[in-house]
DNA sequence: TTGTATGCGTTATCAT
DNA sequence: ATGATAACGCATACAA
């Protein structure tokens, strides 16, 4: 085989000529339509291989009026000016979601389009933009603090959509999430089993479902273990926030011996403060985080934490959307994953 | 405005009817071709706004035979079976590159397609696949240990391409990189300025340009400062590798008081080992990392490190490719970024 | 079972 | 300066 100069790519027509059949037949083979003579099919398949034919998506979606593209869109409230000060993409969480999404999409020969929308104006233009970009399914990661209008707009437009995490307000849209309360309970059980008596928690922002549920779950579980009260300090899911919260907790409950933190990043900050306060971990204070993100491994001691199966969740989102692209009549579905405890050195 | 039922999107034809002109005129307005009466132009523009018209990319690229899509492709040697054990996407580095790429692409109304290729078979199919997916420019992140065939294949196919990091072998292809040697020198200067006398380094894998250059740069700089010899231990850029290397170094040079580590992850591991060995940081041993990744912040003490402007590098890749999509005759270009020292607590 | 013909929404080449 | 009209590559209704 000689090296092809970068000439025009082979078309259906070319394949037809080589195979000595009509375009329609080749098309049938390509799309594996039933009625086609096995002999001819083989001839055509060889011709396809010989020519290196690959269907032209543009032409295809132009005629079918179906696009088949998938977008991974990240919706942010408002990007603060310049500076790459750790945007969404910098968050390791994002990478794990991508990992899962890609793992499910790639075997189908699909590749997601990466879109970021960080203003209300862009949000309002998203649906037309999706049409333009040939995408007909959306995996949405919303970092919108309050109620993101996107899920509503997308479902109204009939675009199969799956959300990462339960939407702030109930809506008829697919989503994946982790059983936050169960995760918190697992942490509570562990602390109690270790013999902790004075237990506290650093909670996430009360405005977020994750923040609320993890706190509620922890309180419930502790109550069931007989602990009517647990000290609570709120953090903002950042490391620094965790440090500040830990300081407050230490002031309120100096004798605490068990701590549940609503995410690993804050737990990492808490660890530092505890150590600086002379507490040995886990001997003086047992600490459990949430997420099982990378920091859990670089903390010292390494963090015992409640693992969120983020990759599996990403893959599930992809599946949901694909299912609904195939059958738009499917109802909105939610898949809640069970978290599990990853025991390391901090508890 | 009443809610549109999800009917067929408006076409050029629709706009033309509303504006009372021909398709051709609308097309001219949309593509801002000169010859068009200002009055008509305005009429058409209003019609476009009224109808909410958005050009159909498929139809457009079908006729122009230009696609204009951009892909961010990650090339891996071979994905090890199942398990989401921190693939490329989980690496925080990836997120930062994406951040930079998106920051440059989005203002142009472009969104990258995310593609992963992790086998030679897939690599060989990539170029046709790109055609199919309508992409005409590639941002390539190669994790191929040896020589990745992709840059060659892409340039042969005439696809504008930019690499993240210098290719293992010289090739006529665009790339961005950081001045590794300069970065290593900056670290050396800092250690010497602090008065370190017994200096060692944990190097990256000798097979990688980054590993080689950072080591060479560090040795050179130390030599210029009069230190003929520095103890070296090789790591594999992982935290665990950093721990092992640190142990070896401690055995060889127990009195060391200064350490340069070729990346933050290994530095984090080294920190742990040093602390366990009773060394105070930075008083007993000053430690400097490389990258300024997230771990640099969650380490204790927080890591002084050589910052790679990854986001800017990603943006530069995007610019290079866009430039070459506009003018394919442009020569291959390289942009080397200057790293800078970020001083925190470890040195 | 196979081939022929039509049209998807655009741009581009012609006339006008 | 503007309007017909012919492709672009493909799927599909229809004819054979």
The CA distances from residue B214 to A281, B101, B168, B285, in Å, are 36, 25, 15, 20
In this complex, the residue of B87, B96, B114 whose CB is nearest that of residue A112 is B114
The pLDDT value given to residue A79: 66
Minimal CA separation from A346 to chain B, in Å? 15
Cα gap B96→B74, rounded to integer Å: 14
Task: Give pLDDT tens digits for B93-146.
Answer: 899 999 999 999 999 989 999 999 999 999 999 999 998 888 999 999 998 767
Cα gap A64→A305, rounded to integer Å: 49
The pLDDT value given to residue B3: 41
Report the nucleotide nearest the CA of residue B44, measured to C1'. D2
In this prediction, what percent of chain B has a pLDDT beyond 90? 79
Q: How far is the CA of A293 from the C1' of D8 (A)?
A: 49
B16: β partners: none
> By C-alpha distance, which of B287, B185, B290 is closest to B227?
B185
The pLDDT value given to residue A4: 44
In this complex, the residue of A111, A132, A158 whose CB is nearest that of residue B57 is A132
A99–B84: do the CB atoms touch at under 8 Å? yes
Task: Give pLDDT tens digits for A19-72.
Answer: 999 999 999 999 998 888 999 999 999 999 999 999 999 999 999 988 889 999
In chain B, residues with a C-beta closer than 8 Å to the C-beta of A98 are 89, 114
The pLDDT value given to residue B166: 93
pLDDT band per the 50, 70, 90 thresholds, residue B283: very high
B261 and B199 in contact (C-beta within 8 Å)?
Answer: no
- CB contact set of B284 (below 8 Å; sequence gap of 6+): B257, B274
Q: Does B239 touch chain A (CB under 8 A)?
A: yes
Cα gap A106→A14, rounded to integer Å: 28
Nearest residue of chain B to residue A96 (CA atoms): B90
Task: Give pLDDT tens digits for A93-129.
Answer: 899 999 999 999 999 989 999 999 999 999 999 999 9
Residues 306-345 of A with CB under 8 A from B: 311-312
Query: Residue A276 CB: number of other CB atoms within 10 A?
Result: 13
pLDDT of B85 higher than 70: no
In chain B, residues with a C-beta closer than 8 Å to the C-beta of A129 are 54
In this complex, the residue of A115, A295, A311 whose CB is nearest that of residue B111 is A115
Dihedral angle over CA of A201, A202, A205, A206, nearest 10: 20
Cα gap A67→A61, rounded to integer Å: 5
In chain B, residues with a C-beta closer than 8 Å to the C-beta of A239 are 297-298
The pLDDT value given to residue A99: 94
- CB contact set of A246 (below 8 Å; sequence gap of 6+): A202, A233, A269, A270, A273, A274
pLDDT of B79 higher than 80: no
Cα gap B321→B317, rounded to integer Å: 6
For nucleic chain D, give residues with Cβ below 7 angstroms from it: A 8, 11-13, 23-24, 27-28, 30-31, 53, 55-56, 59-60, 62-64; B 21-25, 28, 34-37, 39-40, 59, 62-63, 65
- CB contact set of A328 (below 8 Å; sequence gap of 6+): A158, A160
Cα gap B192→B283, rounded to integer Å: 14
Closest alpha carbon to C1' of C13, residue: B24
Quick one: which H or E segment has residue A343? none
Separation of CA A269 from chain center: 24
Q: What is the mean pLDDT of each run of 10 residues along chain A (347 residues)?
A: 59 93 94 89 93 92 90 85 62 89 94 94 92 93 86 94 92 96 98 97 93 97 96 94 97 97 96 95 97 88 96 98 93 98 97
Nucleotides of D under 7 A from a protein CB: 1-5, 7-13
The pLDDT value given to residue B80: 59
Helices then strands, counting H and E runs in chain B, come out as 13, 12
The pLDDT value given to residue B82: 46
Pair type for strands B340-342 and B304-307: antiparallel
Q: Does A154 touch chain B (CB under 8 A)?
A: no
Cα gap B242→B261, rounded to integer Å: 8
Q: How far is the CA of B56 from the C1' of C11 (A)?
A: 12
Residues 68-87 of B with CB under 8 A from A: 71-72, 84, 86-87
In this complex, the residue of A52, A54, A239 whose CB is nearest that of residue B297 is A239
Closest alpha carbon to C1' of D3, residue: B22
pLDDT band per the 50, 70, 90 thresholds, residue B294: confident
Minimal CA separation from B7 to chain A, in Å? 10
| CA-only gyration radius of chain A, Å | 26
B79 and A83 in contact (C-beta within 8 Å)?
Answer: no
Q: What does residue B164 show for φ and ψ, rounded to 5 degrees?
A: -95, 115
The pLDDT value given to residue A114: 96
- CB contact set of A316 (below 8 Å; sequence gap of 6+): A100, A162, A176, A335, A337
Nucleotides of C under 7 A from a protein CB: 1-5, 7-13
- CB contact set of A26 (below 8 Å; sequence gap of 6+): A12, A15, A16, A19, A44, A47, A48
Instruction: Report the predicted TM-score, pTM, of the whole model to 2 decimal places.
Output: 0.91
User: Mean pLDDT across chain B, nearest whole number?
Assistant: 92
B56–A132: do the CB atoms touch at under 8 Å? yes
Size of chain A in residues: 347
Question: What is the residue-wise DSSP string for A73-139?
Answer: EEE-S---SSS-SS-GGGSHHHHHHHHHHHHHHGGGT--EEEEEE-SHHHHHHHHHHHHHTTEEEEE
Whether the link from the prior residue into B282 is cis, omega within 30° of 0, is yes
Cα gap B320→B331, rounded to integer Å: 10
> By C-alpha distance, which of B67, B28, B68, B33 is closest to B44?
B28
In chain A, residues with a C-beta closer than 8 Å to the C-beta of B295 are 294-295, 298
The pLDDT value given to residue A2: 38
A96–B84: do the CB atoms touch at under 8 Å? yes
């Amino acid at each position: 085989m000689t090296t092809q100069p970068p000439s025009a790519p082979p078309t259906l027509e070319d394949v037809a000529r080589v195979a000595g059949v009509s375009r329609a037949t080749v098309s049938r083979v390509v799309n594996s339509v039933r009625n086609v003579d096995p002999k001819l099919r083989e001839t055509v398949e060889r011709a396809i291989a010989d020519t290196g034919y690959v269907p032209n998506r543009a032409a295809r979606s132009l005629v079918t009026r179906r696009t088949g593209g998938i977008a991974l869109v990240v919706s942010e409230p408002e990007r603060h000016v310049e500076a790459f000060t750790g945007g969404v993409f910098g968050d390791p969480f994002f990478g794990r979601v991508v990992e899962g999404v890609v793992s499910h999409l790639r075997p189908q020969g699909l590749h997601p389009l990466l879109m970021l929308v960080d203003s209300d104006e862009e949000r309002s233009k998203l649906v037309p933009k999706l049409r333009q970009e040939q995408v007909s399914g959306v995996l949405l990661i919303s970092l919108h603090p309050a109620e993101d209008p996107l899920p509503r707009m997308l479902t109204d437009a009939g675009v199969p959509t799956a959300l990462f995490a339960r939407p702030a307000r109930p809506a008829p849209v697919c989503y994946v999430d982790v059983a936050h309360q169960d995760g918190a309970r697992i942490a509570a059980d562990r602390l109690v089993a270790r013999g902790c008596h004075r237990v506290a928690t650093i909670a996430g922002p009360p405005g977020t479902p994750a923040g609320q549920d993890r706190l509620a779950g922890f309180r419930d579980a502790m109550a069931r273990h007989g602990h009517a009260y647990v000290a609570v300090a709120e953090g903002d899911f950042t490391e620094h926030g965790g440090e500040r919260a830990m300081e407050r907790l230490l002031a309120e409950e100096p004798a605490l011996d068990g701590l549940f933190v609503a995410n690993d990043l804050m737990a990492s900050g808490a660890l530092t403060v505890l150590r600086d306060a002379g507490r040995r971990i886990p001997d003086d204070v047992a600490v459990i985080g949430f997420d099982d993100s990378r920091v859990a491994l670089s903390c010292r001691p390494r963090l015992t934490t409640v693992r969120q199966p983020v990759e599996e969740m990403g893959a599930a989102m992809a599946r949901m959307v694909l299912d609904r692209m195939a059958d738009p009549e499917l109802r909105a579905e939610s898949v809640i994953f069970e978290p599990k405890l990853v025991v390391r050195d901090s508890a």
